[in-house]
Chain A
Amino acid sequence: DAKTTQPPSMDCAEGRAANLPCNHSTISGNEYVYWYRQIHSQGPQYIIHGLKNNETNEMASLIITEDRKSSTLILPHATLRDTAVYYCIVSPSGTYKYIFGTGTRLKVLA
């Protein structure tokens, strides 16, 4: 079973920040938080990952709470092309498998 809980769906207005929450209350000390997204039947696209510090790259920011039991993926200026299913995964570094849940279906509205 997936170790993460995400809302099944969210809407966001184009140009606004999209904040996608993820609960991972049973996360272990050596487990990273990964975010991927999947745009309609394409392969999942890597977005960002982190261990305990907040992370930012050209696509998004990842905010991890101090107790590491939850995190938020932030897309700072959502566009229509960000409409996708977003998956939050926790997994040890270098592990051989990801356990996907059902993700959050984000719809960006014009």
Chain B
Amino acid sequence: ETGVTQSPTHLIKTRGQQVTLRCSSQSGHNTVSWYQQALGQGPQFIFQYYREEENGRGNFPPRFSGLQFPNYSSELNVNALELDDSALYLCASRLQGDTEAFFGQGTRLTVV
């Protein structure tokens, strides 16, 4: 158990819809990152938030957006869903300045 929890665990959406995924960071961790993992691939970095501000982004379009709240929980929002957005979405939290990050169990998103 890492103390990082994600909800929901599974989700099915229709192409064109919008989705919000949630992450509760480990206690005291003020930095959260989101990753997308397609089947058979390693996780790909989407973006990171530190103290409610985005401070790093991977190669993902603007329809992928996020929020971090004062209690350090966070959301990943994806608009205009495409079939290729079907993946396992992972969040990872860390304490800024620490080296290792701890991952949640992920949300499996299926777009049909």
* A92-108 contacts to B (CB < 8 Å): 93-94, 96-103
Give the Cβ gap from B112 to chain A, nearest Cβ, in Å. 19
The answer to whether B42 touches A96 (Cβ under 8 A) is no
A21 within 8 A of B: no
The answer to whether B97 touches A97 (Cβ under 8 A) is no
Bound-state CA distance A96–B32 (Å) is 9
- B82-104: contact bitstring with A at CB < 8 Å (1 yes, 0 no)? 00000010101000111111111
Size category, B interface? 20 to 34
**Known contacts A102-B42, A103-B42, A42 near B106 by CB under 8 Å:** yes
A residues in contact with B100, CB < 8 Å: 34, 46, 49
A80 within 8 A of B: no
Contact of A44 among B43, B44, B55, B97 (CB under 8 A): B43
